[in-house]
Amino acid sequence: MTHEELYAKACRVIPGGVDSPVRAFNAVGGTPIFVASGEGAYLTLADGRRVLDCCCSWGAMILGHADPGIVEAVSRAAARGTTFGIATPGEAELAERIVARIPFVDKVRLVNSGTEAVMTAIRLARGVTGRDLIIKCEGCYHGHSDGLLVSAGSGAMTAGDGTQPASAGIPAPIAEETLVVPYNDAEAVAAALAAHPGRVAAVILEPVAGNMGCVPPKPGYLQAVQEAARAAGALFICDEVINAWRFGLGLYSAAAGLEPDIVTMGKVIGGGFPLAAVGARADVMDALAPTGRVYQAGTLSGNPVAVAAAIETLDRLAADPPYARLAAMAERIERGVNASAERHGVPLRVQRHATIFTPFATDALPVLDLADSKRCDATRYARFFHGMLDRGVYLEPSQFEVNFVSAAHTDADIDRFLQAAEDPLASLS
């Protein structure tokens, strides 16, 4: 079947034909693609085309698709049983691996998604502090829980006006408990804390923002936010659902010398399965049920098949860290695309942090916050996206997202990427 036929079939039984909105290609136009299979750095689409994948399941597939070691690990686990709703030894084994890499985390709670991890972190912060308000940054996406869909990034970027929730169904009193400030502006955080003394439970942000495109923190920004939160008695939450194990073994915040009070992790640590985690020092984590009064539960939390994939992934990354090679490949994409765009006179530039990158349709880098990101030309990006897809390279279907390279990518794949980019960039001039 063609993608058009598959999409029409899906639309008859699934709202919008997709189970997550950004898959619908609303930001770039056209018919969404359907995947038949994946292997290594490549996807085979339902129409038989083979494309180089720079989405990598939104960052989760750091070892590539259908990695033999992951397949073997989950096959063994599934053969023993796919879910029990009872504790298994693997849960503690995975938690030990996570805790060992993060100096300020004593305990973790495994959950099923980044949204669930952040929802738990927010409830935990409110339970520990006895306060209600949350401060978040414009354009940072922390999942689709009610209080965090105000000025959210990712797929929510195209909904709402930035001041109201990017979704119907969120009561105004819940939205009003979220205060929004620009990313990369520590003074705005301090001002919001001062305006609501004794009422802010937590400040939450992505240390390296990945949901308004790739937007790294300015020097000193994260440290200043942490200090402001501590001075006001609020907890500092780093949402590392994308960042964790993406740039190195552990968290970006730890490598940056931060000590957030609560962290969330996902994507990479799940090994391609629904798994995420929330972590903190012992006194904070012990406020969670059953030891404390902050309730959180999940039938599939710590699912044995997902845990097996996670353990295999973290062990492989520890045994042979790929990060320098990933960063070198991403840097080749950055330099190659930017040189070609400049040569063709096209206002499109790649902004990169280590192993992640976004082609922003602008020649005015750096992009530092949501306002900068929204000034980029969405129409030009859409043309670039489809030009790349037509030439066998799949990018994120929005310039408000980040792209990834995996350990399965090779220098030859990067050559293919840069060769594919030439014609679309020439046509945009």
Q: Which residues are catalytic?
A: 141, 239, 267
SS3 116: helix
Strand ranges in 112-173 using DSSP code E only, listed in sequence order: 133-137
Unique residue bearing structure tokens 């972590």: 279
Q: Pairing relation of β-strands 276-280 and 107-111? A: antiparallel
Of residues 348, 355, 305, 363, the one with CA closest to residue 328: 355
Given strand 276-280, what is the order of strands in its sheet? 107-111, 276-280, 262-265, 235-240, 200-205, 133-137, 178-181
C-alpha atoms less than 13 angstroms from C-alpha of 245 in its C-beta half-sphere? 33
C-beta of residue 225 within 8 angstroms of C-beta of residue 198: no
Cα 215 to Cα 159, 179, 249, 274: the distances in Å are 20, 21, 21, 26
47 class by beta-carbon count within 10 Å (0-12 exposed, 13-18 middle, 19+ buried)? middle
φ/ψ (deg, to 5) at 263: -130, 150
Assign residue 17 a region (left: φ > 0; alpha: ψ between -120 and 50; beta: otherwise).
Answer: left
Per-residue burial over 272-309, b = 16 or more CB atoms within 10 Å of its CB, e = otherwise? bbbbbbbbbeeebbebbeeebebebeeebbbbbbbbbb
First to last CA, the chain: 35
Unique residue bearing structure tokens 């000590």: 259
